[in-house]
Amino acid sequence: MPSLLSIRGLEVAYGAVQVLFGVNLEVQTGEIVAIIGPNGAGKSTVIKAVVGLAAVQQGQIVFDGREIANLPAHIMPALGIGYVPQGRIVFAQMTVTDNLEMGAFLQKDSVKRRQAVQQVFEQFPRLYERRHQPAGKLSGGEQQMLAIGRALMMNPRLVILDEPSLGLSPKYVDVIFDQLLALKQQGRTLLMVEQNAARALELSDRGYALELGHNRFADSGEKLLANPDVRRMYLGGA
């Protein structure tokens, strides 16, 4: 079966500074795939290249059989790619419901848009309870749920998340990882970058460790967790 997302030989530079040097990565339908690696390894840049926020110099990014490298970011939701950027970015002055609606601004059918909002509320009952609140008043964990919910509004075939657990309290880290697993169990396909590498790999069918813009390790989540070199380098030893 062809991959849902296939990245081959990806090279990206910011100005004169090259940061990715031929990265390869595959995501099959139904998988959770994690990208791990130290700060500055290029994890976010891989994601940004996929969603049209970093210019691709070389290589292919094929999504669902279509070459998408260097397509503009704003068409990604319509192609079936949902993106949750790093940092829980929500529209602070807007209500929870309006934030969700923004995730489906391309959906002109208001009935379908409302149905999508209801589905997100079923997924995240906490957001339903707070639906009339401005997003800026939510806790960090609730804002992250909202950012994820917004990315689900167009019913994406691939959900890409950059550091979904970063900066959250331990309680909310658990909530977010539980939600990611629930999304997989509902048949969604996820590609995520995570600092919390052990937690991410436990959940993942496949993982990639990047270093200085190169692939360093690629294997099943289980095998990476059991690999002594991976443990020493990325999982704090032991």
Ligand X SMILES: Nc1ncnc2c1ncn2[C@@H]1O[C@H](COP(=O)(O)OP(=O)(O)OP(=O)(O)O)[C@@H](O)[C@H]1O
Which residues in this chain contact ligand X in the complex, by CB under 6 A? Answer: 14, 17, 19, 37, 39-45
- Using CA atoms, how far apart are residues 199 and 176, in angstroms rounded to an integer? 11
CB of 43 to Mg ion, least distance (A): 5
- Using CA atoms, how far apart are residues 133 and 126, in angstroms rounded to an integer? 12
196 binds Mg ion (CB under 5 A): no
Burial class (CB in 10 A: 0-12, 13-18, 19+), 117: buried
> What's the CA dihedral at 61, 62, 68, 74 to 10 degrees?
-100
Residue closer to Mg ion (CB basis): 42 or 82:
42
Residue closer to Mg ion (CB basis): 44 or 227:
44
- Using CA atoms, how far apart are residues 168 and 23, in angstroms rounded to an integer? 29
45 binds Mg ion (CB under 5 A): no
Residue closer to Mg ion (CB basis): 55 or 75:
55
CB of 79 to Mg ion, least distance (A): 23
187-196 burial, b if ≥16 CB within 10 A, otherwise e? ebbbbbbbbb
44 binds Mg ion (CB under 5 A): yes
CB of 20 to ligand X, least distance (A): 8
CB of 36 to ligand X, least distance (A): 9
What does the binding site for Mg ion look like in residue numbers (CB under 5 A)? 44
